[in-house]
Structure 1
Amino acid sequence: MVHTLKDTLNFQKRDFNDNAPPNAKIILQKQPMEQSTTSLSGYQKLAVGLLALTQFTVVLDFMVMSPLGDSLIKSLKITPVQFGWVVSSYAFSAGVSGLLTAGFADRFDRKKLLLFFYIGFIVGTLFCGLANSYEAIIAARILTGLFGGVIGSISMAIITDLFTLQQRGRVMGIVQMGFGASQVLGIPISLYLANIWGWKSPFMMIVGLSTLLALVIMQAMKPVTKHLELQNDRNAFSHLWHTVAKRNYRIGFLATALLSIGGFMMMPFGSVFAINNLHVTPAQLPFIFMVSGVGSLIIMPLIGRLSDKVDKFKLFSGASIWMVIMILIYTNLPAVPLWMIILFNVLMMMGIMSRMIPATTLTTAIPVMQDRGAFMSINSSLQQIAGGIASFVAGMIVVQKNNSGPLEHYNTLGLVASGISILCIYMVYRVSQLTIKTPIPFPQNEKV
């Protein structure tokens, strides 16, 4: 299952040159041999850093809803089902946005596309910080999702354009450290601010940080336009349909959707379970997230490097089985000491995050360059919609009789998530088989 340089070159000559537009043949034949190395240039490191910080702000905006869940439910006097809708509204709007933009995703400079949606994300997050009712927070989350949900797919397209498959595991590990960093720094700081100034303050912090980052991207990132040389005359709808119609692509889409459902189903009600069932205090909650985040920061780069050296499917399978075991233990915990809660949180998060890097890396190898933006947009869209479905279903399964009562049926939620995660192993196996047959193009040829 390991692609050698010789295999890659043979795939390019046989498959790409037979099916790609005439100008694409010239481009692929001119790629320099040194691009296949795993070392990163100075500009590539800068690009990875900017994308990782972007991912940090977007992930934090989304992830902070979980630790703020108990505070939101009590402040706005809403039910678990209504809170599920607050989380799902972002996910569903992000999914719709991804589908609407998929047809256009490969027709623009990816840097400009990233900035456009990132600025919209900042505006939506600002409205979240200004919301003062259940209806207002729902509207603000919908607006934020319309822009924020597309940023991840644009980032993945940029990564796939700039880095070889042999580099992507390490790059994915760094970029997805945004998840761990949001737990180590973002969520504890957000909860600290929320305890002082209320649940709105974390969103205002994100707005300030994101605005500074957008200015840096404008100045420091180079245009990402090589894919424009491979475009054809299909309109946006035809390009979208062309991408969805490919059977290999649909396998990748389904695998991503199942991954999102299994991984996200328990997350929205994590803080509610910890506070009302495990008797964690609001003051202890930031520490739990911080320690779990440190674990993620340590494990993510290691898994990224490991995924570049070993069979990615085997790595994913091992991480999935580990995750299922930890979920079944954690969701059935009684009130235990704080150190045990932290330990199981770290172990569970290791499994959840360790399976994302090999799965995402394998999925990025499926689309050809001229379909990459559309593929990533649709993939991200389905990921968001699946997360929204997971949150909605989770809200229907769990029950809380009053705002301070225990959360019931959280263990049932763990069983459902575990079953879906086992099914994911089969789907990612099918994706891994496709990467053996799919030609792997070199990344954008730039002097960086």
Structure 2
Amino acid sequence: MFKLTTLFFLIMFVIGTDTFLISPLIPTLQSLFHIPTEYSGWMVGSYALGYALFALIAGPLSDGWDRKKVMLSGMVCFSISTMFCGLATGFWSMFLFRFLAGVSAAFTAPQVWASIPALFPAQKIAKVSGIVMAGLAASQAFGIPIGSLLASIHWSYPFFTIGICALLVALFIFYVLHEMKPNQAPQAKTPIFSRYLPLLNSRTARRAFFAHFLFQCGFFAAFSFIGKWGADRFHLSIDQAGYMMFFLGLGNIAGSLCGANVIKALNRFNTLVVGFLVSIVCFIVLPHLPSVSAFESVYFFVFMNMGVAFPLILGMLNSLNPAIRGTISSLANSIMYAATTLGSWIAGLIYAAFNGFYAVSIFAAICFAGSLLSFIFSGIFGKGRENKE
């Protein structure tokens, strides 16, 4: 069990590092490739777009395939496409390679969340999910700052490093993970998109997934331009932005590791409500803070909430229909990256239009408020919902 937990942690760490790496690199790549601010968000959005589109296919397919083969193939392709990002010569080549990296990740990361309930006993699922989520958090705390330091030498070094690490993780998958073939072979013959019908026909599922979309849209809209805001407002260099991301990542790790205990103490509903309300207040005050230390201190609570809320939300979504966890996990991830695409694009537009982070933070606060209301009125917290829908 320890090897599997470590493997899933490393998968999320590598993919998370690559996912978030562009944020502190935006000022450098924007200058290097001569990209206007309103289009710079697409360097984040291209990866997210590839993920969002292909996760919709990867999820249903993976429910009828051997998850190990899907995970291994996706990680190898992810390694290659990420290394090609280091060879980009302009905006469109970077867009293409980031898009391909997102496609590869779409076949890899959802398998992790779908595999946990199948490989671990029920009483350990929350703990393991928190540890795996900590891998995503650790990518912000350690992977991104290291990548930023490498980028201060040359912007391409982080991509080559992540690509090589991803290849090593692929070897780990090959030797540690056993075959995970579907329980029912006939499911593979089911038309891909028809597997989404149980979710589309459920009012609870529709509202819960919409709430998930708003949550991710708000968070990543603000996240995508932390590095840009740090450079514009506080004149931070790329390595200084990396140190700031390290501190914020610690908040995510703290939230991931203590999330199970927080939920146990407060219950799921209260945990979500308190975390979202604190985050909304943080977003409102962020642009008005006078120093980097104050900015980091307040944003720390947003990242801590992300560490607690993300695995909680995924757990709630996966409980909607345990028979199609792969489909649910992929849809949840697809929605997350669709939200990232839209959020980073909107953030780029309003950042340029209003010349700063002010409008971006208000947009994030509105998204969090809408997400909280959607979760509350979805009925996902009610008992026995699976049988009623």
TM-score, normalising length: structure 1: 0.80
Q: Partner of 1:257 in structure 2? A: 213
Asked whether the 8 Å contact 2:217–2:367 carries over to 1, the reply is yes
| Alignment of structure 1 residues 48-59 onto 2, 5 Å | 48-59=5-16
Q: Secondary structure at the match of 2:348?
A: helix
Ranges in structure 2 where 5+ consecutive residues have no aligned partner: none
2:348 to 395, 400, 413: 395
CA shift in 2, pair 1:366/1:163, >3 Å: farther
> How far off is 1:165 after superposition?
5.1
Q: Partner of 1:213 in structure 2? A: 169
Q: Secondary structure at the match of 1:284?
A: helix
- Which range moves more in the overlay, 113-122 or 145-154? 145-154
Asked whether the 8 Å contact 2:57–2:192 carries over to 1, the reply is no
Runs of 4+ in 1 over 6 A off after TM superposition: none
Task: Give per-residue Cα distances to partners, 1:376-426, cap 9 Å, x unaligned.
Answer: 2222212211110111111111118xxxxxx82411111111111012112
Q: Partner of 1:65 in structure 2? A: 22
Asked whether the 8 Å contact 1:149–1:384 carries over to 2, the reply is no
Alignment partner of 1:419 is 2:375 = no
Give, in whole Å, the separation in 1 of the partners of 2:136 and 2:234.
Answer: 24
Q: Partner of 2:139 in structure 1? A: 182
| Alignment of structure 1 residues 161-200 onto 2, 5 Å | 161-163=118-120, 166-196=123-153, 198-200=154-156
| Alignment of structure 1 residues 352-431 onto 2, 5 Å | 352-369=306-323, 371-399=324-352, 408-429=355-376, 430=378
Q: Partner of 1:82 in structure 2? A: 39
CA shift in 2, pair 1:419/1:165, >3 Å: farther
- Which range moves more in the overlay, 254-263 or 212-221? 254-263
1:347 to 287, 301, 310: 301
Give, in whole Å, the separation in 1 of the partners of 2:122 and 2:370.
Answer: 26
Asked whether the 8 Å contact 1:128–1:141 carries over to 2, the reply is yes
Q: Secondary structure at the match of 1:272?
A: helix
> How far off is 1:135 after superposition?
1.3
Give, in whole Å, the separation in 1 of the partners of 2:224 and 2:4.
Answer: 31
1:96 to 47, 53, 59: 53
Q: Which amino acid aligns with 1:344?
A: V
Q: Partner of 2:234 in structure 1? A: 278
2:288 to 332, 338, 358: 332
Give, in whole Å, the separation in 1 of the partners of 2:383 and 2:34.
Answer: 49
Q: Which amino acid aligns with 2:3?
A: L
Asked whether the 8 Å contact 1:150–1:380 carries over to 2, the reply is no
CA shift in 2, pair 1:234/1:395, >3 Å: same
Asked whether the 8 Å contact 1:265–1:391 carries over to 2, the reply is yes
Q: Secondary structure at the match of 2:234?
A: coil
**Aligned-pair identity (%):** 23
Higher helix share: 2
Ranges in structure 1 where 5+ consecutive residues have no aligned partner: 1-42, 401-406, 440-448
Q: Partner of 1:147 in structure 2? A: 104
Q: Partner of 1:433 in structure 2? A: 381
Q: Secondary structure at the match of 1:239?
A: helix
2:269 to 298, 308, 313: 313
Q: Partner of 1:289 in structure 2? A: 245
Task: Give per-residue Cα distances to partners, 1:179-208, cap 9 Å, x unaligned.
Answer: 321122211111111111x11110101011
Q: Which amino acid aligns with 1:301?
A: L
TM-score, normalising length: structure 2: 0.92
Q: Partner of 1:131 in structure 2? A: 88
CA shift in 2, pair 1:166/1:324, >3 Å: farther
Asked whether the 8 Å contact 2:254–2:307 carries over to 1, the reply is no
CA shift in 2, pair 1:315/1:243, >3 Å: closer
Q: Secondary structure at the match of 2:288?
A: coil
Asked whether the 8 Å contact 1:304–1:357 carries over to 2, the reply is no
- Which range moves more in the overlay, 91-100 or 338-347? 338-347
- Which range moves more in the overlay, 116-125 or 275-284? 275-284
Q: Which amino acid aligns with 2:131?
A: I
Asked whether the 8 Å contact 1:187–1:289 carries over to 2, the reply is yes
2:62 to 98, 105, 119: 105
> How far off is 1:434 after superposition?
5.0
- Which range moves more in the overlay, 91-100 or 423-432? 423-432
> How far off is 1:236 after superposition?
2.7
Asked whether the 8 Å contact 1:150–1:381 carries over to 2, the reply is no
Q: Secondary structure at the match of 1:331?
A: helix
- Which range moves more in the overlay, 380-389 or 62-71? 380-389
Instruction: Give the aligned length.
Output: 386
Q: Which amino acid aligns with 2:207?
A: I
Q: Which amino acid aligns with 1:318?
A: V
Give, in whole Å, the separation in 2 of the partners of 1:188 and 1:106.
Answer: 36
CA shift in 2, pair 1:244/1:432, >3 Å: closer
Q: Secondary structure at the match of 2:62?
A: coil
Q: Which amino acid aligns with 2:364?
A: A
CA shift in 2, pair 1:112/1:246, >3 Å: farther
- Indicate the RMSD between aligned Cα atoms, in angstroms: 2.2
Q: Secondary structure at the match of 1:421?
A: helix
- Which range moves more in the overlay, 291-300 or 382-391? 291-300
Asked whether the 8 Å contact 2:314–2:329 carries over to 1, the reply is no
Alignment partner of 1:159 is 2:116 = yes
> How far off is 1:73 after superposition?
1.0
